[in-house]
Structure 1
């Protein structure tokens, strides 16, 4: 069929959205004047409905005649029970807002029955998954193995973030780079260091003799550091692989704010996230290297203690790195491998009462 339909319907859980889902939506968009995509997960699932809608709207922003509507559907799944079909179709009809549809696009065997119940034409789209050999079940089982089928916002949400923190000249950047090389991962450098360099350069325009000890800080500076650090982190997470190495974060910035201003602000603290792992570089045994942007050799022990205390109650695993660089790297690699081996955890969706129901519908 090559005709154009007035209003197409796509229904799914999109748990999470992947390339197969996007191809389905694109197929409907190419053949319909308008498309309604009903995102209908159960409440037991572990990706919020609103987040799925945001992801889908971003990816399909170029087809404004496609609208995405969310409804929770907590009904059981039984393709052999007409009463259960009625319950699900009532959810989908409510999402449609009374608008009739003349085509139902699906890659699943239930598409034909769904179309019949809406008095529409059933349009199969790549039911054998040849164009995009992926499924939501496969992604949930092993996101890393199916990473190429995920869109940037989904990648950013799923990525495992490992944050390296520590006092000045304790090897945080060296460790972040080394881990990135070891795992073939992207890493995000420290924005605060960049800002320090810029502040010093501004001072030296009028005072060539100025040093880093002349640089001053205020609350807005630390808010800027958090904002720019997270923006860089999120941008990198969208285009990188399933592991992201971060050289500092908002919790570390709060410690630096305390170091310079005597306390940390509520705004900086509120920006704290929950990465998969913290790596804390100890200062013991690491010579202080004065590169012109460092001013806290005398505070390294205090800062290590503050980082240790700050991270202790954050609910994220913390591994301290001690000894020579090789020993630290081995400890860090083992910790990151543990994180990756743990995989991802998703709540199970509501499954069909009869696991062979799909094949029965197709027969």
Structure 2
């Protein structure tokens, strides 16, 4: 009988073993309990880089909300142009068709006459407050908290007045209508910096409590690798586990992707333990997968930027600007031509600058997985 692969390398999926997020889960549990007991409701912003597990954590929080008998709704934010479109989106997702009929129409003085509470001229915040306050009145006897979870809140940054409408709506619902709504959103690691770009720094940074997701440490990474294997007949050799820990640097998506491929190769070979030969073949599979889904899209078009990445990818140590320039000269690139492309790579976060120790100020590719992609890129086309 074929073993079922326990690793799930899809963005947004809940991993087989939820490693390294105990502090975040405990924080949410505390905020839930405080809110249920009538205390202050804290709104949360889960922020972090690509594939770091924001959506997965959001789904886990939804499970915790249910365990605490709190209602919740998880929505993925689409591209939205303004606050009108946003209010309609939220109403459509949170309010059921039956509830919408009740909310749209209210009886006037018992006469049977009705007015539409969502007439076009009403401000989007008014429509949103009307809908959500009515929703709360319908459920408040059954639950002490409603958690609205909005994934990819970044898409609202360029939508005219959408984020300010969201903030103002939840403040009004709490202060004027005594509704018990908690808002949890996810966004990129620079979300709070981008608030400033759109002139929303002060009100929004005070409104949201940030939960910053970082890479797993080595112990957490090992747990993410080994725990899912406990219910299978497959093992990974210690050297294989060490390689995964080092190459992934604790990035949750890389861990799931590489382990998934190693597991598949091990089963296909009809063996019960993955060795380094399996690892090498599986790594080629994994790097090809992520090339298509991610790395090809972020790889620069500038030839000088490509050359800088190639220089860094084959170096065992971070390099200074001067050292990169020396290597560039060997490839017919003038020293004076290195500065601007290097800064662009920093801005794109494809390269990072060391901040501590004797390597402070030197440059390296932002992570090991992408480094291997750059180093092997020409070969990848023939894999």
Structure ranking higher in helix proportion: 2
Q: TM-score, normalised by structure 2?
A: 0.30
Q: TM-score, normalised by structure 1?
A: 0.31
